[in-house]
Amino acid sequence: MGFSRDDRAKAARQSWVVRLFYDRDGDLQGGRALAVVALLAMAVVLGTVMVSFAGAAFGPQTLATGALIVFLAIKIPLLVFVFWILMRQGGGYTQTELTAKERSRVLESLVRQAREAKGKPDEAERLRWAAREAWRIADEAPDDERQDAIAVAVEISGMRPTPQDRTTA
């Protein structure tokens, strides 16, 4: 349902609105999006306070009209913006959508985590998890990258937990 990274990158070259919230690679500029949402939320609060004071001063007709204006002019655009961001982001990346560089970084991270697990109380669980993730990435990697991913998965799978020194006093 969501757009792929390439689709978002292409759209970022075409629309000024999309360029405002996405970089050239199609990644969301979270800080900008958060700033816009914060500004719209502050406008909702300010508008609601102003409408409440106006309603108290001029009566319920003014309160109803002001509330409708705040709803139509601020709350609806805020919801549309948030919905737009969520729909563009889609359901998240699957491993087949990762670039070769990203896949390489993930596999390097898994090897590093597996090595850092040595000596930890939950070392066996961490190694099993890292091996599972590496094999999943290897299974979903394109043919030209699969051999390297399999080599990493075999390396992680070959790591054995160090025997725990359990001395009872």
For residue range 5-28, list pLDDT tens digits in order: 666 666 555 667 777 777 777 677
CB atoms within 10 A of CB 24: 9
pLDDT per position as a tens digit, 43-82 = 888 988 988 898 889 988 988 898 888 888 888 888 888 8
User: Quick one: which of 85, 3, 8 has its CA closest to 40?
Assistant: 85
| DSSP per-residue codes, 133-164 | HHHHHHHHS-HHHHHHHHHHHHHHHH--PPPP
Q: pLDDT grade, residue 1 (50/70/90)? A: very low
pTM of the model: 0.44
**Rounded to whole angstroms, how far apart are CA atoms 83 and 10?**
20
Greatest Cα pair distance in the chain:
80
Please report the sign of the dihedral spanned by the C-alpha atoms of residue 19, residue 22, residue 25, residue 26.
Answer: negative
Q: Are 121 and 161 in contact (CB under 8 A)?
A: no
pLDDT at 94: 47
Domain locations in the chain as residue ranges: 5-92, 96-158
